Structure 1
Amino acid sequence: MKIPHSVKISFRSILKNKTQSLISILGLGIGLGCVFLLSLLYIHENSFDSFIPQKENLYRVLRGPVYLTSYPLGSTIKEEIPLVDNYFRYYQDSDVELKNSHHDLVRDKRFAYADTSLFTCLGIKILQGNSSRSEREICISASTANRYFNKENPINQILQVKINNRFLSLRVCGVYEDFPQNSRLYPNFICNLDLIRESLGRHQRYLGHFGKASEVFKDWDHFLFETYLLLNKNADPQNVLRHMQAYKNKTVDEKRRDQDYDLQIVTDIYLHSSALYEITESRTGNATQLKYLLVISLFILLIAVVNYVFLTKAKMENRLKDFGVQKAMGASTKSILKQVLLESNMLSFLSLFPASLVVLWGFPFINNTLERTLGIEVFMIWQSWVVLFLVVIVTGSISGIVIGLTITSRSSVDLIKGIKLKSLKGKGWTNSVLSIHFAIFIILVTGVLIIKKQLHYAQTSSKNIETENVIICEFNSLELSKQYQLITNEVEKIPGVICTAGSSLIPPVNLNMPVTLMYENHKVRFDGLFMGKGMLGLLGVQFLDGFDFGDFHPDQNDENEVIFNESAAKKYKLKVGELFNGFNVRGIVKDFSGHSFHSQIQPMVILQQDPQKMNLFAIKTSGLNNDEIRKKAGEFFSKLSPDVIVNIYTLKEQISEFYKKEQQQVKLLTAFSFFAIILSVMGLLGMVLNAIFLKRKEIGIRKVNGAKTIEILRMLNCDFAKWVIFSFVFACPIAWYAMHKWLENFAYKTELSWWIFVLSGLIAMGIALLTVSFQSWRAATRNPVESLRYE
């Protein structure tokens, strides 16, 4: 097939200007790659639960700001409201322990309890067998079946699953297809909902001595399940809601009686649940964050296109005479514009190669950083291809039209004489774009440094708690809890162990455990902790008055002794030895961090826990051999209870989990900073090449008249350096304001140190000077005869 002449000319032009063409392709490719990546993420996030066949009729029940409901609600609605065709209730555990086919003890995630109608409502196919219809049956996903049974038929196989500290034999009754990557619910195991009784025993044990049993299947005040309703096709959701409000009176809790029921369509749950009080093991999105990312992607594209225009302009300056000759020989304005547009689009399509590398790198980065499920499945959505095609065509066309119209607006005489493209020559516009580039980079780098500084402060400066060298062990079985004293005696013999103590919660924790007491004939709520003897001392909490808990003697009603923090003592005028709501005030401790630095310290009450019902075991070490201590403690626990996986981690690691969102922000800002500086360098490089081209005669004359290389470098560098300084002055107040607002999310925060802003500016200046100096040195060391020859 014969290649068109215009295509050959475009390829020759690209190859003739290899350096500038390569810079153009890389710069535009990075910009396009970022746009593709974030656009695909936007499309993917908005596609969640769109696979459900009857998605327009499937709703989740809300109660006020909470998405959890009681067990009787779903069945009662189905029986009494004819507009509801079907329903299912859903509860998911974070992970479970089970024995695989080789009888090895393993831990697996995504273990759910649900009504069998889940499969019908969500349109999930059962590939083999049927759904679980009794407590001792379990349905598993196809990938789980392959993982545990390989090529064997999983139906009627037995899985030993540990629920509430004992292994239950569950028969595999069915295998269902894996939930799609854009499904909010994604269980590997689905048990019959009746088995929830066993699971709740584990949660009651979590509170140890203070855990209370509940009849969940009859209790309208036990809010544990997500309830989904499949409405009739012709049903009005508002009509269903009016019927549902009558069920508010079935709850004893007065506050809950004032909360109205609401319905949330299933396709809105993933992205639009941020206003709900939601602690879930299911996937959750963030609509606000997604909008910010989309704006950032468009901004990156704008920068990339502007850079491309400047780079193309610098390249076209060398071809003005060629276009002038074409125009003088009779070439029409349309043909020249077509040629420029073709070359621009060819460069745009060539930039797809570096763009694809950015996308390939970006998929795992986005998934690991934001905990998303972006994969090649997104290309199955037709909108993805429309976005990719339009971005490439629009980018190449806009860039080509801007340059083409500027060239064709000049006469052939002006072009032959090499008169510059004045419409693109505006120095102020060019330098202002440069300033914006580096201002963005400075803002991003400042953000990264301040967030890291705040994270370091939050993770190392817990208020009045010694978080260093504290190892936490989870007691995942009654056998371990009952042997608390034996474990204490043996672990304290390990070299490097200073002391040990037990607790149900070890602060700082991410979990709020409210305790309600009576004060002056009305209820007051405290932040609650359940601790054993010695835990406060292990954490270095200081007593302002009174003493720590002594040995636990349940027959002497030790549970009637409590310890309050300083805030509670001041607010309610408490003193050691007095009674408060029937509790003897044993001690007052200095305020300490019960939770993350996001929240203010609240009035707190600490109750004593039964040692044989501890959920957590803490080890205070000297810090010299922590790895060895963790290893020996784990081995000892395995001897005591072989069928238990004991989680062992440090208090520092626990605190680090509080700030996962901020850690994600640091990674994102770092990535954007990286791309911002690359695009800034690309733009600066194009401007430098253009400036050197315009000043080639001046440089030659200066060299002939004895100017030194250092003087040429100073002349070229100073002009760009002052604009980087301007960008620093412009960026600092914006960065200060943005980070000041961000720090308002913390009750306890670090300072906005001046050196962070200076360091960001110096980094930007260093990168700019290195970029400019390299090209300036090449121009300054060139033979002046070559420079003068062009004129």
Structure 2
Amino acid sequence: MIMFKNHLKIAWRNLKRNPLFSLINILGLSTGMASAFLIYFWVTDEIMVDKFHVNEPNLYQVLMKSEENGIIRILDGTQGPLAEALEKDLPEVEHALTVMDGGKLGMSISFKNEENMFKTAGLFASKTFFDAFTFPLIHGTASQVLSDKDAVVISENFAIKLFGSVENAMNRQMEYNMFGNEHSAKVTGVFKNVPNNSTLQFNFVATRKKLLEDIWTNGQVWTNTGPDTYVLLKPNVDIATFNLKIERFIDKYDEYNTFSLFTRKFSDAYLKGNYENGVQSGGRITYVKLFSFVALLVLLIACINFMNLSTARVSRRFKEIGIKKTLGSTKRILVVQFLAESIFITFLSLALSLVLVILLIPVFNFITGKELGMDLIFQHMSILLLGTLVTGFISGSYPAFYLSGFSPLATLKGKFQGKGTELFARKGLVVFQFMASLVLIISVLIISDQINFALTKPMGYQKENLVHFDLEGKAYENAPVLFDEIEKIDGVESVGGISESLIREDGGSSTYGIDWPGKAENLEIDFVLRRVDENLIQTMNIEMVAGDVFTPELGSPESYLVLNEEAVGLMGLKDPVGKKIQLWGEDKTILGVMKNFHTASVMQPISPVVFRYAPNLDLAMVRIRPGTAAKTIESLEQIYTSFNPGFNFSFGFQDQSVNAQYLTEQRILSLSKYFAFLAIFISCLGLFGLAAFNTELRIKEIGIRKVLGSSSLGILRLLSSDFIKLIVLSIALAIPIAWYAMSDWLLQFAYRITISWWAFAVSGILAITIAMITISFQAIKAANANPVKSLRTE
């Protein structure tokens, strides 16, 4: 204990004796540690998504494989009867359940209780939903709340909104509107609000029976897909064997089936939900791994600063080491001393890093879309302390073993071995620091370029000045009348209707049920399918390449279809306009062909799209005159609320909906920018410290050179040339690494940029400029100093 106290005293004295270097060490380490802690909290939150369910180890989602044009697609939408059949036929299944997200059908769901009315998201699920998933009930029994067809279970918040309190909600009647039809329901239970780390987000759960018997009757047949199917397997079921068993399960119920089944752990969907040609190919887990690596990299850069500055100042401690060794100190004791000093500084940095974390958490939450709280610091304090201890050991290990290895005689004489090795190692660490920082900077520039490309790439229709809003109640029942009134608004150019948004990453409503003469026997194409009115194509400014659009003059527009170029190409049709094809066995005529347009982000290729006519739809699209948005939307709201009393007017802009598809990438870009800045900042701190020390060592040399006539520019060149060479080497090493990493990242986009030389040039120039500014501060100060002071005998 006495020795330990002595080590701390010496560490404290060294801190006070060298305030500049101490400040650089503490500031660099605390910044690196704060970055690592924030990323650790983010990674922990990402990994824990959907892990809170009690049955998580045995809870799986059933997925389907479909081969289309030689490519294997993975579909999460399954057949409505599948869950019941799996539970009935397979003894390994404890529960199988159907879950249908209302939004997946393009449903517009508004609940009302007398004067209160709210539109919200919800699910239709099998009666065992609350047995399989852990969403705790405040009122009601898990096995009973969904027994009755007209039962509905609502969230705590939703109960308060509709009925004033949770207690008032129980056994109350309520109505909801779907597809323009009114349905009644009885509240049989109230569940706690769904946590943020759940991928299932909903405010009500209605019954599967209600969905399939009264609302979406087509969901009862094996040839239609849509709902998600989940299975809770019994303990100790071998999942590989189970997957083989269910692979061709549907064949038993559908002789024309082309789908094969397999399962994926429910909690894996969030992080590992991407598939490429039927093989799992990453997902958000890629970003979790990436930023875990980046956090460690930034922390390592901070540790390198400590190592560099500690070894650089080694000459100041030679006599101390020599005297201690002469008086009997062993190498082990000296190693312990230097490690203790390092850990002491690291724990001082921990205190500052926690202050930084507390200050930065609100900003970090805004960037990442998380809701991380201060309680995380206390929950993970043991991990933070362990991380600090490891950081201190890593930071101090090289200096400790390096400093303790000198001969006592050599150190007392001022002579020592290993100077060349020390210098080489220090230069190597500087190169590594700037190389890592440059890789991050280059990556930021390329990611930014790709996101800008995605946001500005033409969609195939005019997304600007296009407003959309849901049609409910009378607006759904009498959409043509409402549209006539809207077209009279001065700022409105046109208005059209569509069954659901075109902007759906999962494609939204789709069908395999299109046949045509000459179709190959095993050819399966999943067509994106939308119902539209006669004005939708013109309103969205979708270009026609052949034929015509829907018009009232057609007589029976329901008998016609409009396809895009991709659909026609996949079908192999020549001169398609006027040709007969079949939709679900009904004869249809191809009326026109649209130019290709995007129905998802540029990560996805163009989809084959089919439009069919319908007069009453769920979503209105309004094109407004540029520069009139505020006034026109105000008029839209007045007409909508007067036409449809009791329903709220909620609208959105199409360009914002398109941009929202890249929210994850935009957040990744924002995080990358911050970490690139921190990496270069910490690297420059170390460079500043080394430059200061180098200047200090050569102060007499500089004085002599000035007396002999050397200019300030010459002194600047002398002190900076070695460092600039190291930065240039860093650039040379960073370019191929960044190019390889970014080329791999860009592969996830179906439409992507070509990596340009300017990203590397800009990063290199930026690195050299920052390094020159950092070095020049000390060099100019030394060059302008009075040489008399530096040459004066101590």
TM range (shorter): 0.7 to 0.9
For 1:300, which of 283, 298, 301 is the aligned residue?
298
* Structure 2 residue matching 1:613: 3-state secondary structure: coil
| Counterparts of 2:676 and 2:496, CA distance in 1 | 45
| Counterparts of 1:124 and 1:690, CA distance in 2 | 61
| Counterparts of 2:413 and 2:182, CA distance in 1 | 89
| Counterparts of 1:71 and 1:509, CA distance in 2 | 21
Contact 1:97 1:105 in 2 (8 A): no
For 1:445, which of 441, 445, 468 is the aligned residue?
441
Alpha-carbon offset, residue 299 of structure 1:
2.6
Is residue 2:634 matched to residue 1:623?
no
* Structure 2 residue matching 1:12: 3-state secondary structure: helix
Paired position in structure 1 for 2:468: 473
Residues 161 and 31 of structure 1, relative CA distance in 2, 3 Å threshold:
farther
For 1:769, which of 757, 769, 772 is the aligned residue?
772
Residues 531 and 128 of structure 1, relative CA distance in 2, 3 Å threshold:
closer
For 1:712, which of 712, 715, 725 is the aligned residue?
715
Paired position in structure 1 for 2:30: 29
Deviates more, 1:694-703 or 1:78-87: 78-87
Residues 225 and 380 of structure 1, relative CA distance in 2, 3 Å threshold:
farther
| Counterparts of 1:108 and 1:102, CA distance in 2 | 17
Alpha-carbon offset, residue 67 of structure 1:
4.1
* Structure 2 residue matching 1:462: 3-state secondary structure: coil
Which letter does structure 1 place at the counterpart of 2:601?
S
Alpha-carbon offset, residue 345 of structure 1:
0.3
Which letter does structure 1 place at the counterpart of 2:770?
I
Contact 2:249 2:260 in 1 (8 A): no
Alpha-carbon offset, residue 349 of structure 1:
1.0
* Structure 2 residue matching 1:703: 3-state secondary structure: helix
Is residue 2:633 matched to residue 1:638?
no
Paired position in structure 1 for 2:251: 249
Which letter does structure 2 place at the counterpart of 1:715?
L
For 1:112, which of 115, 123, 130 is the aligned residue?
123
| Counterparts of 1:395 and 1:30, CA distance in 2 | 13
CA deviation profile, 1:26-70 (whole Å, cap 9, x unmatched): 211222233333344444444455544454444444444444444
CA deviation profile, 1:394-424 (whole Å, cap 9, x unmatched): 2212332321222222233443455578458
| Counterparts of 2:444 and 2:119, CA distance in 1 | 36
Residues 239 and 5 of structure 1, relative CA distance in 2, 3 Å threshold:
closer
Alpha-carbon offset, residue 451 of structure 1:
2.7
Paired position in structure 1 for 2:603: 598
Alpha-carbon offset, residue 167 of structure 1:
6.2
| Counterparts of 1:577 and 1:231, CA distance in 2 | 52
Alpha-carbon offset, residue 347 of structure 1:
0.8
Contact 1:596 1:658 in 2 (8 A): yes
For 2:170, which of 156, 163, 183 is the aligned residue?
156
Identity among equivalent pairs (%)? 26
CA deviation profile, 1:115-174 (whole Å, cap 9, x unmatched): 443333445543434342434443344565567667763452747463414665654433
| Counterparts of 2:324 and 2:317, CA distance in 1 | 11
For 1:492, which of 487, 492, 517 is the aligned residue?
487
Paired position in structure 2 for 1:399: 395
Is residue 2:667 matched to residue 1:664?
yes
Residues 48 and 626 of structure 1, relative CA distance in 2, 3 Å threshold:
closer
Within-5 A mapping of 1:360-509? 360=358, 369-371=367-369, 384=380, 387-416=383-412, 418-419=414-415, 422=418, 426-462=422-458, 464-469=460-465, 471-504=466-499
Within-5 A mapping of 1:43-192? 43-64=44-65, 65-93=74-102, 103-109=115-121, 111-122=122-133, 124-131=135-142, 132=145, 133-142=147-156, 153-156=167-170, 158=172, 160=174, 162-164=176-178, 165=180, 170-178=185-193, 182-185=197-200, 187-192=202-207
Contact 1:220 1:250 in 2 (8 A): no
CA deviation profile, 1:411-464 (whole Å, cap 9, x unmatched): 334434555784586444433433333333333233323332333333223155
Alpha-carbon offset, residue 310 of structure 1:
0.9
CA deviation profile, 1:242-287 (whole Å, cap 9, x unmatched): 765684234437344x514x44445545444433999xxxxx9733
Alpha-carbon offset, residue 605 of structure 1:
4.4
Contact 2:24 2:686 in 1 (8 A): no
Paired position in structure 1 for 2:339: 341
* Structure 2 residue matching 1:90: 3-state secondary structure: strand
For structure 1, the residue ranges without an aligned partner over 5 or more in a row are 202-212, 279-283
Residues 489 and 418 of structure 1, relative CA distance in 2, 3 Å threshold:
farther
Paired position in structure 1 for 2:559: 560
Residues 136 and 507 of structure 1, relative CA distance in 2, 3 Å threshold:
closer
Residues 431 and 462 of structure 1, relative CA distance in 2, 3 Å threshold:
same
TM-score normalised to structure 2 length: 0.84
| Counterparts of 1:736 and 1:58, CA distance in 2 | 40
Deviates more, 1:364-373 or 1:438-447: 364-373
| Counterparts of 1:63 and 1:239, CA distance in 2 | 17
Which letter does structure 2 place at the counterpart of 1:774?
F
Which letter does structure 2 place at the counterpart of 1:397?
F
Within-5 A mapping of 1:1-12? 4-12=5-13
Paired position in structure 1 for 2:274: 274
CA deviation profile, 1:537-593 (whole Å, cap 9, x unmatched): 34444444443332266xx32233344445566742115455566544444444444
Which letter does structure 2 place at the counterpart of 1:549?
F
Aligned residue-pair number:
763
* Structure 1 residue matching 2:497: 3-state secondary structure: strand
Contact 2:443 2:738 in 1 (8 A): yes
Alpha-carbon offset, residue 703 of structure 1:
3.2
Alpha-carbon offset, residue 679 of structure 1:
2.2
Contact 2:172 2:187 in 1 (8 A): yes
TM-score normalised to structure 1 length: 0.84
| Counterparts of 2:607 and 2:139, CA distance in 1 | 53
* Structure 1 residue matching 2:438: 3-state secondary structure: helix
Deviates more, 1:751-760 or 1:88-97: 88-97
| Counterparts of 2:389 and 2:611, CA distance in 1 | 65
Within-5 A mapping of 1:642-657? 642-657=645-660
* Structure 2 residue matching 1:254: 3-state secondary structure: coil
Residues 622 and 573 of structure 1, relative CA distance in 2, 3 Å threshold:
same
Contact 1:97 1:645 in 2 (8 A): no
* Structure 1 residue matching 2:167: 3-state secondary structure: coil
Residues 456 and 347 of structure 1, relative CA distance in 2, 3 Å threshold:
same
| Counterparts of 1:237 and 1:327, CA distance in 2 | 63
Contact 1:517 1:524 in 2 (8 A): no
* Structure 1 residue matching 2:399: 3-state secondary structure: helix
| Counterparts of 2:86 and 2:654, CA distance in 1 | 45
Which letter does structure 2 place at the counterpart of 1:119?
F
| Counterparts of 1:712 and 1:727, CA distance in 2 | 24
Residues 630 and 291 of structure 1, relative CA distance in 2, 3 Å threshold:
same
Residues 330 and 102 of structure 1, relative CA distance in 2, 3 Å threshold:
farther
Residues 264 and 694 of structure 1, relative CA distance in 2, 3 Å threshold:
same
Residues 564 and 185 of structure 1, relative CA distance in 2, 3 Å threshold:
closer
Paired position in structure 1 for 2:68: none
| Counterparts of 1:28 and 1:618, CA distance in 2 | 54
Contact 2:112 2:175 in 1 (8 A): no
| Counterparts of 2:405 and 2:670, CA distance in 1 | 46
| Counterparts of 2:242 and 2:643, CA distance in 1 | 55
* Structure 1 residue matching 2:461: 3-state secondary structure: coil
For structure 2, the residue ranges without an aligned partner over 5 or more in a row are 66-73
Alpha-carbon offset, residue 669 of structure 1:
1.8
Deviates more, 1:142-151 or 1:647-656: 142-151
CA deviation profile, 1:188-217 (whole Å, cap 9, x unmatched): 43334434358x84xxxxxxxxxxx5353x
Contact 2:358 2:374 in 1 (8 A): no
| Counterparts of 1:49 and 1:604, CA distance in 2 | 34
Which letter does structure 2 place at the counterpart of 1:289?
Y
Which letter does structure 1 place at the counterpart of 2:189?
G
| Counterparts of 1:228 and 1:575, CA distance in 2 | 41
